[in-house]
Amino acid sequence: MQTKTKKKLSENILDKFSIDFLRNQVLKNAYGNDDTVIAALDPRILLVWYLFLGLVPWFVNNLWFLMGCFLLVLVTTILARVAGLVLLLFGVGVFTQTGYLLVVSLFFGGNASTVVPLLILTLKVAVCSLASVTVFSGLDPDRLSNGLMWYGCPERLSFSISYAYRVLPMLMEEFQNILLSYRMRGNPPEHESFRGKVKYLIYQVRIVMHAFYPLMLNTAKRSRTTVEALEIKGYRYAAVNKSVKKMKLSTLKVTYNDLLFLAVSFLWIALSILASTLF
Amino acid sequence: MELAKKQTATQSQKLMIFVLTMALYGLATLFTELIPKFQVGAVEFSVEYFLFIPLTLAMLFDPLSAALGAATGELVFSEIMLGQFGGLGELEKFLTVTIGVYIAGRMVKNPKNRKMVGIAAITGTGLQLLMGTVVDILKVQLAVEDIEAVAGLPESVCATEGLAFLNDLLFSGILFCLLPTLFLVPKLYGKIEPLLGMRPRDEKTGLGGINGKVVIGAVAAFAAAAGAELLASSGTPLIEWEAEWAESGKALALGIVVAAAVVVVALVVLKELAVRRNRMEQ
């Protein structure tokens, strides 16, 4: 009975973790939440905000200040309604970056005094990643790339961002189709015993590697089509032309909401600085 | 015939290679980011490196475009799209991937020569991993303040990083970089180039092996990578600044708070006024 439920549970988790699920999560992350408070803000303002919260915590070792920053980015992450998968990845990432260090240093003869510096380190990592989660998954990809372009990032980068979001669902679908066709024609080894399981794993990895062969050829064709279509529109000349850039960026506008967002964040940071001087 | 002599792709072909590598490697890194990792003690079993994709493409096409495409793809797909962008620190990964892939691509003169392909694949992977390890060790040594006070931390960091390097090189390096590259390069050779309207690379059209210029460029880029990563995680000057205001700055901090509050109130009032004005106009 127990083994049955256990089996069911693992099947359930595996079901959820299919390629379709991943695709949906990525798409939801990119386009699903453009009606939030964060998404409505000006990308330039958000990038400045991110620059502060992504850099300054690394240089400060005060627990109160870091706590304040952490609460601030926590609130903005909730406001941005980030997809669940991204938050899960964030949790795992923070643990593997510093959590394991804690365990290892205890093993090598550390004690409770190890905890405080590592807590500070963990908070630093958490603040930076949550700030980036807010900005980079809260914003529409096009607005994000416009914002980056305004700051003079190379055109290649903003092109890559817009292109990546558009091409990813197609690529994922194609990869899945190729995998399925391999699976249909293939004859997987038995995976009841341990030996069989190892063989099965090797078989799966081999299929994934083999699947990249047709995928590479197909993508090569597609990228040629893409580049030729871009060339017809005069992409390489437009990319460096100033008046084209100006037209592209004319949609960006700073409103009172943006300034208010900055001011409230600033107030909160100032309060946490005050707290760090008082205690 | 000028084109046939040197393997210099035209600008738009370079862009094609860039787009191709970016899309493929981005997709692969997205998967690796999502696949859970198994950890047995300090040894990690993960499908970490799909580096065989850019390695293969760098050996077949223009290495620099492929290397830059791979690094950009990783940055955009797995960092920015999933919201894991680490700021300045990402520069380190960007540059190490670029160096590793570029050098591996330059090493191969004739993709039909399997031995050379294998050596180049494992060299590129090893270089990338080694640079990452060195930077990681330096980073933790500098990031955690008064590291000597934390008993056992320096040794443990060196031990775990060294183990991780060996594990990555032997496990991911051979399984996920060497073998697939050996399989894919001969298979794709002569088939994928016409799709981009190019001639296959051979002894005559190759870019030439590694020379002093490449090495110097790689070393400079690595120094920049290490510098960026350390800058992102150290920050000695600002710690002193912080200590200053911690002593004498209560009044200053209070002043900042008051100023910020005033700004917030002023903005709220201004916004209200603007909204009301809009309504009046309507």
For B32-54, the pLDDT digits (tens) are 776 655 554 445 555 556 888 99
Residue of A nearest to B253 (CA): A274
Which of B82, B222, B281 minimizes the C-alpha distance to A129? Answer: B82
Mean pLDDT across the stretch B117-123?
Answer: 90
Q: Which pLDDT value is given to residue A114?
A: 66
B187 with A259: Cβ contact below 8 A: no
Residue of B nearest to A235 (CA): B12
Q: Which pLDDT value is given to residue B238?
A: 41
Confidence check: pLDDT of B63 > 50? yes
Q: Which pLDDT value is given to residue A2?
A: 54
**Three-state secondary structure along chain B?**
CHHHHCCCCCHHHHHHHHHHHHHHHHHHHHHHHHCCCEEECCEEECCCCCCHHHHHHHHHCCHHHHHHHHHHHHHHHHHHCCCCCCHHHHHHHHHHHHHHHHHHHHHCCCCCCHHHHHHHHHHHHHHHHHHHHHHHHHHHHHHCCCHHHCCCHHHHHHHHHHHHHHHHHHHHHHHHHHHHHHHHHHHHCCCHHHHCCCCCCCCCCCCCCCCHHHHHHHHHHHHHHHHHHHHHHCCHHHHHHHHHHHHHCHHHHHHHHHHHHHHHHHHHHHHHHHHHHHHHHC
Q: Which range among A4-13, A257-266, B221-230 has the greatest average pLDDT?
A: A257-266
Tokens representing B256? 């900042």
Confidence of residue B8 (pLDDT cuts 50, 70, 90): low
How close does chain A come to B214, measured CA to CA in Å?
24
Query: Which range is least confidently modeled, A212-221, B141-150, B209-218?
Result: B141-150
Strand, coil or helix: what is A111? Answer: coil
CA pair distance B227, B224, nearest whole angstrom: 5
For A167-214, the pLDDT digits (tens) are 888 888 888 889 889 888 888 888 788 888 888 878 887 888 888 899
**Between residues A161 and B151, the one the model is more confident about:** A161
CA pair distance A257, A57, nearest whole angstrom: 25
Percent of chain B at pLDDT > 90 equals 7
Confidence check: pLDDT of A153 > 70? yes
Confidence check: pLDDT of B89 > 80? no
Q: Which pLDDT value is given to residue B67?
A: 92
Confidence check: pLDDT of B206 > 70? no
Domain assignments of chain B as residue spans, ordered by start: 2-234, 238-281
Which of B210, B28, B248 minimizes the C-alpha distance to B103? Answer: B210
B43 bridge partner residues = B40
A257 contacts in chain B (CB < 8 Å)? 271
Q: Which range among A100-104, B44-48, B73-77 has the greatest average pLDDT?
A: B73-77
Maximum distance among all Cα pairs of chain A, rounded to whole angstroms: 70
Is residue A157 within 8 A of residue A148, CB to CB? The reply is: yes
Is residue B192 within 8 A of residue B114, CB to CB? The reply is: no
For A4-22, the pLDDT digits (tens) are 555 555 555 555 566 677 7
CB distance from A236 to chain B under 8 Å? yes
Is residue A232 within 8 A of residue A16, CB to CB? The reply is: no
Domain assignments of chain A as residue spans, ordered by start: 32-139+253-279, 154-240
Confidence check: pLDDT of B244 > 70? no
Question: What is the identity of the amino acid at B20?
Answer: L
Is residue B25 within 8 A of residue B54, CB to CB? The reply is: yes
Q: Which pLDDT value is given to residue B21?
A: 92
Is residue B135 within 8 A of residue B226, CB to CB? The reply is: yes
Tokens representing A77? 């992450």
B16 contacts in chain A (CB < 8 Å)? 220, 223-224, 226-227
Contacts of A67 (CB under 8 A, 6+ apart): A123, A272
Confidence of residue B66 (pLDDT cuts 50, 70, 90): very high
Candidates A212, A218, A235, A254, partner chain B, best to mutate (most B CBs within 10 A):
A212
B240 bridge partner residues = none
Mean pLDDT across the stretch A132-143?
Answer: 81
Mean pLDDT across the stretch B123-130?
Answer: 88
Q: Which pLDDT value is given to residue A269?
A: 85
Confidence check: pLDDT of A32 > 80? no
A104 contacts in chain B (CB < 8 Å)? 42, 156, 160
Mean pLDDT across the stretch A238-261?
Answer: 83
Confidence check: pLDDT of B201 > 60? yes
Rounded to the nearest 10 degrees, how much is the dihedral formed by the CA atoms of B198, B201, B203, B204?
Answer: 20
Q: Which pLDDT value is given to residue A113?
A: 67
Confidence of residue B147 (pLDDT cuts 50, 70, 90): low
**Between residues A103 and A158, the one the model is more confident about:** A158
B30 with A260: Cβ contact below 8 A: no
Percent of chain B at pLDDT > 70 equals 70
Contacts of B46 (CB under 8 A, 6+ apart): B32, B35, B37, B38, B172
Confidence of residue B236 (pLDDT cuts 50, 70, 90): very low
What is the CATH number assigned to the segment(s) B2-234? 1.10.1760.20
How close does chain A come to B257, measured CA to CA in Å?
5
